[in-house]
Each structure stands twice: as C-alpha cells, then as structure tokens.
Amino acid sequence: MNLSLVNLDLQLASDMSFPSVKTALTEPNGLLAVGGDLHPQRLLNAYANGIFPWYSELDPFLWWSPDPRCIIKTDEIYINKSLAKFIRKCDYTVTINNSFERVINICSDAPFRQDDTWILPEMIDAYLQLHSLGYAHSIEVWQGSTLVGGLYGIAINGYFSGESMFYLKPNASKIALVSIAKLLNLNGINFIDCQIENPFLSSMGAVEVKRDDFIELKNNAIKQQLGEHFWQPREIQFNE
C-alpha cells in the first residue's frame, strides 16, 4: 500500500477507542485507522466493533472495516460431492484449542502462501495473549498424531471472526472450516465473519453483505452466550 495516500486524520488517538466504521475509506476499501498497538484491550475493542488489524512488515498498524463484508452462514456452508465423499472416508480427527500456538505459527508461514505474511511476530504474541485470556481459539485437523490443517480466530461470545487457516494434507483446511461452522450452528450461532472475500471462501459458500447488515449480525451474535465449556480443548465430530 502507498501510505502517502493515507489521510493523517486516520491516526488513532492514544486511548483504546476507534472511530465509527462509517468513516472508513472507500479506497482502499475499509481502511479506518492507522497506528496504535496490539494491546489485548485494543484488539478486543476492535473486534467488538467489527474492525480487524491487517498490515505488512513495513507498514504501521492498519485497522480495517471493509464494505461489503464476507461471511459464511453456518447452516449454508457448501460441501460439494467430492468433499462430502472425502469427509465420509478420511482418517482425520478434529480438535478444538489443542495446539493454538502451533496453528498460528504454521499459518504465519504456510507453504502455499504466495504473498508476504501479515501474521508477524508481534501479532503472534498478541494473539497468544488473547488465547490465554480466552478470546483466541484454534481448530486443529490431525492425521494420526500429525497436525495437517487448522484455523484460528477471535470469539466474543457468539461472534467468531476467522483470521487464517492452513493445510498440509488434502482438504484439511476445508474440514477445519466445516467443523467450526457445524459446531457454531449447533449452538445457535448463524454466521462466521470471514472479513474479506477470496476464491477459497467463496467455494465454501461465503457471501458478501453490506457493512451495516454485518454490524447488525455482529451485534446480535455478541449478545449470544455460548456454554462455558464450548471452547474447552477436546475432540469434536465433523463427519456426522
């Protein structure tokens, strides 16, 4: 990004607050604020308001709220015939919050990634803090004792914002996404925040919605309480 195009009015204040998402730029789409830090409270304030950090190594901290917003409706995740067949026959198992640090570290340097990672060391440290506080969570896909895929994201009550995923074996990231979608749906949560559309997410049934509609969905999800055991480390079923 050419930061010379960024209005200095986007600089964050020294407190933990953010400007209204309605003030986000249309070009680049969704850029809302510049600067600040990755303090856990600032990150939680960001996600609670539908904002997420995304920047490259040489950038300052950049905060985004794009319009439209990409989501997956948990009861409409798309499983094509070949994936359904794979799910029925594969020897994978799926766990929740079993290896968060391994998942985020592999996501930061996933072998299939063609562009530079935005999951920088300071971001990993910040999300590890959020994990210890009970807000950052991972889904892991295993083949035997080998970690072959997974994803991680931020949850505030019933609102789950996916951050990144990886696969080392066929369909492993798809199974991670299917697993969390089914688990959330079984607990009355009707969407996953996917932030920005890409071809993989679209192939799994993701759609784009207007930011105002997303904010309403997000606000309702935050009001929904999940059971106290929802994020406890355990194996979860994905092929039923």
Domains of the chain: 3-66 (3.30.70.3550), 70-236 (3.40.630.70)
CA distance 55 to 34: 10
Q: What pLDDT was estimated at residue 14?
A: 67
Rounded to an integer, the average pLDDT of 143-147 is 98
First vs last C-alpha separation in the chain:
44
Of 100, 88, 50, which Cα lies nearest the Cα of 178? 88
Rounded to an integer, the average pLDDT of 107-117 is 69
User: Is the pLDDT reported for residue 3 higher than 50?
Assistant: no
- Condensed to tens digits (0 to 9), the pLDDT of residues 212-234 reads 999 999 999 999 999 889 999 99
DSSP state of 109: T
- Mean pLDDT rounded to a whole number for the chain: 92
- Condensed to tens digits (0 to 9), the pLDDT of residues 151-177 reads 999 999 999 999 999 999 999 999 999
CA distance 59 to 224: 35
- The three-state (H, E, C) secondary structure of 27-71, written as one string: CCECEEEECCCCCHHHHHHHHHCCCEECCCCCCCCEEECCCCEEE
DSSP H helical segments within 90-171, as ranges? 100-108, 121-132
Q: Tell me the one-letter amino acid at 225.
A: Q
Banded model confidence at residue 109, pLDDT cuts 50, 70, 90: confident
DSSP string, 153-204: EEEETTEEEEEEEEESSTTHHHHHHHHHHHHHHHTT--EEEEES--HHHHHT
pLDDT higher at 56 or 139: 139
Global pTM reads 0.93
DSSP state of 115: S
Cα-based angle 120, 126, 129 (whole degrees, multiple of 5): 145
Banded model confidence at residue 11, pLDDT cuts 50, 70, 90: confident
Q: What pLDDT was estimated at residue 19?
A: 94
- Condensed to tens digits (0 to 9), the pLDDT of residues 66-85 reads 999 999 999 999 999 999 99
